[in-house]
Structure 1
């Protein structure tokens, strides 16, 4: 059913592993991320298409979506995977610049890309939006206040997307992955999920029966018991 896929945050962690898995299964993928060297390696290894983009720049986002459709044709699936947390700090030690940066990447960027995707998908009566949030949105973690607020905002926005999109034949799933051993953390966490495992879990969504829609999904490594 789905053929063309746009993946953000594809030059590391879950996004990189996701592009590897999707291309292995024969999907046509347009990947984007901040690291040109990593994107070049990914393109050479998988045959995906893609380009780097500054997700904090609204004009660059619109150009990115247009490039993806020019390269692949109409996008069937948008995976809003990119995210960032500048650092852990109490709110009193954070700056407006940090707030604005996290807002731009974690909330505004997925909104803009999803808006463009919906404009394209609604006339076709099909498509899939997958918004990767985090289990951080399900709790209130000290020293992660801005990141938590943005991820909770994305979770709420994603639920609205689902209600607006589903009557047009478009699926929307909000993902809440738990601890994953990626470069997002400075220390290795081998007890956490591997990016490839998260990628394989995500890909299963694309093969669900026609009469099943996954509105949201929470999954964690065995060491997390929340």
Structure 2
């Protein structure tokens, strides 16, 4: 059994991931903004919950501290939360949505990773999983800010891996492709189901001790690149 923090747990991949990890016997703290959904998830799975808005840096730090108190320790941090305000061309951007996407998609996982290192380094063990996106490997029009933040997270995660691994801490950057979640405006049944993505992520906790998955890209069969 491992002690795990999952962000973005109220819907999509994070919701399914919390269910999957709890079913496997792990102790999970699930975080999100929607307290009603968190409470329902807690009733369904038995997970611990912490309500937090990742756009607020102070709440991010508080989330981590409360989560570790509830867990008693920390084995795994899964930075899953992400958001895209909308698709728009660069000349239509607002400063507010740029700042919001920076805060949630890049700053929050960076802060949580920083705090996790403070716990994991002394114990010389741990695992940090950053859910990026295949958007970071592409250049899609109308997705400039989201792409920039995800590319930033990929870069941060790569350096985190190099700084963490000598201390026995595994770091994985995940690049999932199209997933049929409410993140999208329309249903995409040809894309991966959130549970499929969650089950794939959960497998990373079961890798042998002498294996580190630095990066993993996975897509639905309909996507070729």
| Structure 1: distance between partners of 2:185 and 2:91 | 23
CA distance in 2 between counterparts of 1:221 and 1:37 reads: 31
Superposition RMSD on alpha carbons, in Å?
0.6
| CA displacement at 1:209 relative to structure 2 | 1.1
TM-score, normalised with respect to structure 2: 0.99
Partner of 2:32: 33
Name the counterpart of 1:157: 156
Q: How many Å apart are 1:186 and its aligned residue?
A: 1.4
* TM-score, scaled relative to structure 1: 0.98
Distance across 2 between alignment mates of 1:42 and 1:58: 25
Once the two structures are superposed, the pairs formed by residues 1-226 of structure 1 within 5 Å of their partners are 3-226=2-225
Runs of 4+ more than 4 Å apart: none
Q: Which runs of 5+ in 1 are unaligned?
A: none
Query: Cα distance, 1:51 vs. partner?
Result: 1.6
Name structure 2 gaps, 5 residues minimum.
Answer: none
| Distance in structure 1 (CA, Å) of the matches to 2:138 and 2:202 | 26
Query: How much does 1:35 deviate?
Result: 1.3
SS in 2 for 1:32: strand
